[in-house]
Chains A and B, each alone.
Chain A
Amino acid sequence: MIAYIIKRLLISIPVLFGISVLVFFMVRLVPGDTVTAMLGNSYTPEQAEALRAKYGLDEPLITQYALWLKNVVQGDFGYSQFTNTPVLEAILARLPITIELATLSVLIAIIIAIPLGTIAAIRRNSKFDYGASLFGMLGISIPNFWLGTLMILFLSLYAGLFPSGGFVGLAESVWGNLQSMILPAIALGTAVAAVAMRMTRSSMLEVTNQDYIKMARAKGVSNSRLIIKHALKNALVPVVTVLGIQTGYLLGGSVVVEQIFGLPGVGQLALQAITNRDYALLQGTILFIGSAFVIINLIVDIVYGFLNPQIRY
């Protein structure tokens, strides 16, 4: 097990390194020169040279990259001109909101997916099963930004059940916070629920067909006990994996969903970094999101290992 964890860690390092390279050079490709942007109308070649030297922009790209990486490793992501704060500070200030959104989405997804998938598997080929399949397909087809828009329209504007946007801090009001998060979490969680439901269903089917379940059944263990005790536990393994895979979706979806609902999270920050051409912030946020993805997947893999010790490493 430990050997496996170490091995996974070692694989992650080149990927993280690759992410940093890609982020750095990708952002360099975004048109617009920081120096001319700073000087603007009062541009003279001498001033531009001086500024380039000051920011190390006259060095070869590789040197610049090394310098940047060195700073990043030390926790210095640079300074965001847009938020007027160090990049890391800006990200950390918004991180709790995105984490809360993602967690709530996953919770909602699990609450929907596991019972639905389990029942669908037990009553295979029933009307319920078909209904669940339909939900599974619709859930991944419906654009989260449209779902969000619809919920604002019908649940907030017409029915007046929820605030239509804006963020209430957890410290300010727990209830208000939940109210402001619930619709975005549903918008983001629906697709995850759909995928997790399909996964639960198929792994339940597989598990219930395995010999030891058949054996238990033959021994007269009651059906519901069987499902909960044996089958469900084993079927959770692939569900965990799916949730891991969906991390990327959650992080990307948060860009769109946070924008619609006006939640000041990391996704919205990344979008602002792009629209404002805030290079340091852009580098910081995408590096952060990419690394978060790799690390979460690492954790999921390890959890997976614990859940399913039969796997040989």
Chain B
Amino acid sequence: MNDIWYQFKKNKIAMFGLIMISIFILSAIVAPILAPYDPYKMSGGESLAGPSLAHWLGTDQFGRDILSRIIYGTRISLQVGIISVGISLVAGTIIGVVAAYYGKWVDHVLSRLTDVMFSFPDILLALVIMAILGPSLTNLMIAIGIVYTPIFARIARGSVLTIKHSLYIDAAKSMGISNVKIMWKHILPNSMAPLIVQVTLSFAFAILAEAALSFLGLGVSPDTPSWGIMLSEGKNWMESAWWIAVFPGIAITMAVFSFNVMGDGLRDALDPKLKNESS
């Protein structure tokens, strides 16, 4: 563990990611203290005001403070990240472990299913699932969760396969330990490293996907301070009020970047052999 941390610490850019993520999490928690204004408060007299001392990042059409909305937006983004990645992690791992462990036709069916799901561009698949479920934050998280399930399934399956025939699993089997218990106690812990990396990277994907879906008008309720919604509204004001679209975009890029570099750093630290392979 210390070794991993040591490795990770050496990677300056990954450390930067970790710090940024900590800042994001912190702002999500203390948003009400940090935000100078109520993110929903409209004030007609101050609409479309540029960055100033009163409103550091300007205001939108309704006179809502952009900075406050971005700060509250961290809550939405992190919530989407945690829940949707949670869904994919749990569902994907179960599918992958079961497929690899039982092999044969189970593996065939589940692997083909993941292949099929991989054949759809993620955004398109999420769009269709949203069309099925209807627009809401919960459904958005479910849709993103479903879309990224196959990645976890594939990773879990791969790492289980590499250790499935190792001696100690055979030993456990010969001792009559139940399948579920073997999977849970022995196989899963050994597949953790790549899964942790993928979780971090998936956070980045999930934040991006939420923004994209909201941008296309298929996401959360329109007055939610979500970065994607803000961006989507901002694009209508590009010429007269650039700040509405530019700042939330920076927030998205920073958040995604932080999770990406941290995921990269983790991969390097956890398994030096994997270094520099693409995500």
Contact = CB atoms under 8 A, between A and B. Distances in A.
Contact of A26 (B121, B132, B218): B132
Contacts of B278: 195, 198-199, 202, 242
Nearest to B245: A149
Contacts of B215: 143, 145, 256
B212 A143 contact: yes
B54 to A, nearest CB: 24
Interface stretch (B154-162, B184-192, B249-257): B249-257
Contacts of B257: 137-138, 141-142
Contacts, number: 142
B276 A19 contact: no
B166 interface: no
B57 interface: no
A286 to B, nearest CB: 6
B230 to A, nearest CB: 11
B276 A293 contact: no
Given A15-B112, A15-B115, A31-B134, A286 B124 contact: yes
A154 B127 CA distance: 29
Name the prevailing secondary structure of the B interface residues: helix
A277 B131 CA distance: 9
A274 B261 CA distance: 34
Contacts of B246: 150, 153
Given A157-B239, A202-B278, A242-B278, A253 B123 contact: yes
Contact of B211 (A143, A157, A202, A277): A143
Contacts of A202: 276-278
Contacts of A138: 253, 257
B132 A251 contact: no
Interface in B58-73: none
Name the prevailing secondary structure of the A interface residues: helix
Interface residues of B, number: 47
A248 B276 contact: no
Interface string B234-245: 110011001001
Interface in A210-268: 242, 248-249, 251-253, 255-256, 259-260
Nearest to B129: A26
B19 interface: no
Given A149-B249, A289-B120, A198 B128 contact: no
Given A22-B116, A271-B216, A30 B131 contact: yes
Interface centre among B113, B119, B129, B235 (most CB of A within 10 A): B119
Given A30-B132, A138-B257, A146-B231, A256 B249 contact: no
Given A30-B131, A255-B123, A141 B253 contact: yes
Nearest to A20: B116
A14 interface: yes
B252 A146 contact: yes
Given A138-B253, A201-B276, A290 B120 contact: yes
Contacts of A137: 13, 257, 260-261, 264
Interface of A: 14-15, 18-19, 21-22, 26-27, 29-31, 133-134, 137-138, 140-143, 145-146, 149-150, 152-153, 157, 195, 198-199, 201-202, 205, 242, 248-249, 251-253, 255-256, 259-260, 270-271, 274-275, 277, 282, 286, 289-291, 293-294
12 contacts: A19-B120, A27-B128, A29-B132, A137-B13, A138-B257, A141-B260, A146-B211, A153-B242, A201-B276, A248-B120, A271-B127, A282-B128
Which 4 residue pairs across A and B have the least CB separation, nearest first?
A252-B121, A18-B116, A141-B257, A146-B249
Given A18-B112, A27-B128, A251-B124, 18 more contacts: A19-B120, A30-B131, A141-B204, A141-B253, A143-B256, A146-B245, A153-B246, A157-B239, A202-B277, A242-B278, A248-B118, A252-B121, A255-B127, A271-B216, A274-B127, A289-B120, A289-B124, A290-B116
